[in-house]
A and B are shown apart, each in its own frame.
Chain A
Amino acid sequence: MSTANGPLLAARDLVKTHGRTDALRGASAELHAGEILAVTGPSGSGKSTLLHCMAGIVRPDGGSVHYEGLRIDTCPEDRLSALRRTDFGVVFQFGQLIPELTLTDNVALPLMLAGTSRREARARAGEWLDRFGVGDRGDARPGELSGGQAQRGALARALVTGPRVVFADEPTGALDSLSGERVMSELVSAVRSSGAAVLLITHDARVAAYADREIRLADGRAAAMEGAI
C-alpha cells in the first residue's frame, strides 16, 4: 500500500517517442487517492500519451510510473492487463463498447472477465445503467444508442468493477455541450461516492473545471500545475 500522504499514481520524467516525433519529453504528474486531475493542453502536446503511459497501456521510453508502490512501466503485460481489469477503468472519446454486444453485456463484460457469474454480472451492470439513467436501454446495441447514452454506458463499464483510478480521454469529445455536461456531472458524482481518482484528459476548459486540479502540458512537458487538492 502507499504511504498515507503519497500519491496513488505517480509518473516521473516520462519520455516517449512516436516515430520521429517526441510525444513526451520529461513529463511528470501525480494523482492522489480520490482526486480528479485534469490534464489539458493544445492538441499534440502529449496528453493522450501521458494517459496511456500512466494507465499501463503504453510503455514509456524513459522515466517511471508507480501505482501504489508497484512499478507499472516495467511490469509484465499479464499483470498490467489484470490491473487494468481490476483497479483501473477507462473511458475514451467514442466509448469502448463492443458493437455486437448489448449495453448490459458490455457493462457486465469486465465482471465476467473477473470470474463473476453472468447473472450476477448482468444484475450489477443493470444497477449501474439505472444509476446513469440508461437502464431502459440495456438490451440495445451501441449502434442503436445516442452518443450521450453510449458514453454513459462506457462510464458504467469503466466503473462497474469499482476501480481506484478512472482514466478518461476526452470523454465528452464526441458529445454536444449539454450531453457533455451531464456525462461529466454523472462521472463526478459517481467517483465522489466511490472514492475513485480520475485522470481526465481534455482540451475543453469547461470540462477541466470539473477537476480539483489541473496540469497543463505543452510540448510534452508539464508547463504548470494549478489548483489545490
Chain B
Amino acid sequence: MSTRHILLGLLSSGPSHGYDLKRRHDERFPQARPLAYGQVYTTLQRLVRDGLAKIEGTDSDGGPERTVYRATDDGERELARWASETAPPAPFVSNEIFAKVVVAILSGADPAAYLHDQRAAHMTRMRELTKVKTTPGADLATVLSADYALSHLDADLRWMSTTADRLATLTAEVTSR
C-alpha cells in the first residue's frame, strides 16, 4: 500500500492541509487502518523533496496556522502512472496460518485444534464485518471495503477447511523429513 500515492490522489482534487488529508483518507477508506498524523506529515515532506508536491501557502482559518500543499505536474503524472499500473498478484506467498500449522506439527502440538480456533476467530470477524456493512445507511465505500475483507477471510476459511481435511497427509510429509 503506497501512502504517498494515496495522499497524492487526495491532493489531486485540490490543495489541502495535513489534518484535512488525514480526515478525508479515513472517511474515504473506512475499515482501513487509520493514518497517523506523523505519517501524513513525513509523507508530505518526502513528496515535496521529490518534486511531486509543493507548499501552496498557509491557512489559519481562525485556528492554528496550517501548511497547505498542492500536487505538481510531475506529481499528477506520477499519480496517473501508479493508478494505471496493475498491482502484482500475490508476488510472495507468505501465509502465517500455514506457518503456524507446520510449526504445530513440528513441535508436536495439535494443528487441528489451532485450525478450529482460527476458523472461529475468522467467523467472528466476518460476522462483525457483515454487521458493519448491513447497518442501515452504510455507504457503498463501507460495503465494498467490508466485502473485500470478507472475500479474503472467506478464501482463508476455504483454505483452512481443505487443509484440515488433509492434516494427516501433511503431518506424515512434514515429519518424514
Interface size counted on chain A using CB atoms at 8 A? 17
State the CA gap A211–B123 with chains docked (Å).
10
Question: Which of B11-19, B23-31, B93-101, B129-137 forms part of the interface with chain A?
Answer: B129-137
Q: Is the CB of B134 within 8 A of A226?
A: no
On chain A, the residues within 8 Å of B124 by CB distance are 226-227
Residues of chain B lying within 8 A (CB to CB) of residue A214: 123
Which residues of chain A are near B47, meaning CB under 8 Å? none
Chain A residue with the shortest CB-CB distance to B136: A189
Please indicate the chain B residues that have their CB under 8 angstroms from the CB of A181 in the complex. Answer: 147
Q: Which residues of A contact B66 (CB under 8 A)?
A: none
The answer to whether B136 touches A209, judged by C-beta atoms less than 8 angstroms apart, is: no
Question: Nearest Cβ distance between residue B28 and chain A, in whole angstroms?
Answer: 22
Chain B residues within 8 Å of A209, by CB = 123, 126-127, 129-130, 150
Q: In the bound complex, do residue A206 and residue B150 qualify as a contact, i.e. CB atoms below 8 Å apart?
A: yes
Task: Give the dominant DSSP class at B's interface.
Answer: helix
A58 to B103, CA, bound (A): 46
Nearest opposing residue in chain B for A36, CB measure: B127
Instruction: Say if the beta carbon of A208 comes within 8 Å of chain B.
Output: yes
Give the distance in Å from the alpha carbon of A227 to the alpha carbon of B154 in the complex: 17
Known: A188-B134, A205-B154. A224 touches B126 (CB 8 A): no
Whether the pair B136, A224 counts as a contact (CB closer than 8 A) is no
Contacting pair B123 A208 (CB below 8 A): yes
Q: Using an 8 Å CB-CB cutoff, how does the interface string of A179-204 with B read, 1 for contact, 0 for none?
A: 00100010011000000000000001
Please tell me if the beta carbons of B120 and A210 are within 8 angstroms of each other in the complex.
Answer: no
In the complex, what's the smallest C-beta–C-beta distance from B124 to chain A, in angstroms?
A: 7
A204 partner residues in chain B, CB cutoff 8 A? 154
Residue tally, chain B, CB below 8 Å to A = 19
Closest to B133 in A: A185
B11: shortest Cβ distance to chain A, in Å?
A: 33
Quick one: which of A124-170 are within 8 Å of B by CB?
Answer: none
Question: Which chain A residue shows the least CB distance to B150?
Answer: A206
Contact present for B116 and A224 (CB under 8 Å): yes
**Among the listed B122, B134, B153, B158, which residue makes an inter-chain contact with A210, where contact means beta carbons less than 8 Å apart?**
B134
Q: Are A226 and B123 in contact (CB under 8 A)?
A: yes
CB distance from A174 to the nearest CB of B (A): 19
- Name the contact of B127 in the complex, choosing from A42, A189, A211, A224 (C-beta under 8 A): A211
Q: Which residues of A contact B122 (CB under 8 A)?
A: 205
Q: How far is the CA of A212 from the CA of B123 in the complex (A)?
A: 10
Q: A206-B150, A212-B127 are in contact. List 19 more A-B contacts (CB 8 A).
A: A42-B161, A185-B134, A189-B134, A189-B136, A205-B123, A205-B126, A205-B153, A205-B154, A205-B158, A206-B126, A206-B130, A209-B130, A211-B127, A214-B123, A224-B116, A224-B120, A226-B124, A227-B123, A227-B124
Residues of B near A224 (CB, < 8 A) are 116, 120
Q: Which 5 A-B pairs have the closest CB atoms?
A: A209-B126, A209-B130, A205-B157, A226-B120, A185-B134
Q: Give chain A residues whose Cβ lies under 8 Å from the Cβ of B130.
A: 206, 209-210
Residues of B within 8 A of A227 (CB): 123-124, 127
Considering the complex, give the chain B residue whose CB is closest to the CB of A206.
Answer: B154
Residue of B nearest to A208 (CB): B123
